[in-house]
Amino acid sequence: MLRDEQNLVLTISHFKETFMQTNQLGRFGAVSRLTLGGGGIGQVWGPTSEEEAVATLHAAVDGGITLIDAAPGYKICEAMIGRAFAGQLPQGVRVTTKFSLGTVAPDQVYPKLRASLEESLKAMRLERVDMMLLHSEIRPDDFDYPPGQPPKDERSTALSLYRDAVRPAFAQLVREGLIGDWGITGINHAAATIEALSQEPLPAAVQAIANLLDSPGEMNGTGLEPRPRDVIAAARSAGVGVMGVRAVQAGALTRSLDRQDNSPTSRDFARAEPYRALCEQWGVDPALVAHRYALGINGVDTLVLGVKNRAELRQALQAERLGPLEPEQLEAIEALGLR
């Protein structure tokens, strides 16, 4: 059966994708099942030329993607959006940006969000974005990170600051017409994220880990279990949209990894060897299967891609076209006990 699916992949790769399923991303509204993430085209996930980044942006829109997830931390991503569309996003296409606020004095929250947003708008040549997300993880006020981690006030936002200052600052930016809505990052500190998803005013969307390892890799320096499916379930219960991220866990769920060290991603790559053997048995690229798995996670409304070129994008489009895995395929993956 999987070899038949691979033949379908080869067939549809010769045709321009113009149709993609959509989901409701909470109150944000309908979005494509795939979102183009900015990390790849911004050169975070390896080298790519500016010309290829622009071409990938256009190919994503042609393929039916209606949401682009940008951030100033994604190097040249926002400048490439500005270059690709010259300040005029294609009809139906929306864009997000983010800001890694950390924990600052309450009276500095709005000015810092506003300053970052203005720089993003300038780079993308836009007058507003459709959503701005808090890029730093939300933590309990009294949490201390393990030794060797960056200072907690640099990498994370205290839950009380999120409640008392971040939410009002986002609301002000909405009133000013600079953003359409706002969201949060729900990676690590599952308990604090779930608490943030339990009280009004709620974000429009949360970004959460969505891969078959349930792993955030290097992103998790907390020493805590990430519990992404609990975060996704809490968001779903609250009516908050879910943007799934890290479908291939920074390359750990692909055929090969471009580095061999003792990083969390390298350890995930080694842990996933039985998964790659299963995909080899099926005769299918493990990255394709990983994307289909992530698309099938209950509660994930749109899957944010980390692709950096058109070839990687084509495979993700193929995964969306094929849809979630068949029950027996999913059962075989879960039987490996990787999460």
* Residues whose CB falls within 8 Å of the CB of residue 52, separated by 6 or more in sequence, listed in order: 308, 309, 310
Q: What is the chain's alpha carbon radius of gyration, rounded to the nearest angstrom? A: 19
Phi, psi at 307, each rounded to 5°: -70, 150
For every residue of 106-163, DSSP letters joined together read HHHHHHHHHHHHHHHHHHHT-S-BSEEEE-SEEE-TT--PPTTSPPHHHHEEEHHHII
Q: In Å, how far are 45, 52, 83 from 55, measured between CA atoms?
A: 17, 5, 11
Cα gap 327→188, rounded to integer Å = 29
Q: How far is CA 13 from CA 34, 173, 176, in A?
A: 17, 42, 44
CA distance 78 to 266: 29
Beta bridge partners of 209: 245
* Confidence at residue 9, expressed as pLDDT on a 0 to 100 scale: 45
Cα gap 49→199, rounded to integer Å: 43
d(CA 86, CA 94) in angstroms, rounded, equals 14
| Domain annotation covers residue 339 | no
Distance separating alpha carbons of residues 295 and 326, to the nearest angstrom? 12
Q: How far is 145 from 147, CA to CA, in rounded Å?
A: 7
Cite the DSSP H helix spans in 147-263: 152-155, 159-161, 167-175, 190-196, 228-238
Residue 261 has a pLDDT of: 82
Residue 117 lies in a domain: yes
In a domain, 247, yes or no: yes
Is residue 235 a contact partner of residue 299, using CB atoms and an 8 Å limit? Answer: yes
User: What CATH number does the domain containing 77 carry?
Assistant: 3.20.20.100
Cβ(34)–Cβ(303) below 8 Å: yes
Inside any domain, residue 17: yes
The structure's pTM equals 0.93
Is 308 among the domain residues?
yes
How far apart, in Å, are the Cα atoms of 180 and each of 29, 278, 305?
11, 44, 22
For residue 223, being part of any structural domain is answered with yes
Give the count of domains, the chain: 1
> What is the pLDDT tens value at each position of the chain, 339 positions in all?
454 444 444 444 444 445 799 999 999 999 999 999 999 999 888 889 999 999 999 999 999 999 999 999 999 999 999 999 999 999 999 999 999 999 999 999 999 999 999 999 999 999 999 999 999 999 999 999 999 999 999 999 999 999 999 999 999 999 999 999 999 999 999 999 999 999 999 999 999 999 999 999 999 999 999 999 999 999 999 999 999 999 999 999 999 987 778 899 999 999 999 999 999 999 999 999 999 999 999 999 999 999 999 999 999 999 999 999 999 999 999 999 999
Dihedrals phi, psi of 203, to nearest 5 degrees = -70, 160
Residue 292 inside a domain? The answer is yes
* Secondary structure of residue 238 in the 3-state scheme: helix
3-state SS class at 103: coil
Q: Which domain holds residue 161?
A: 2-334
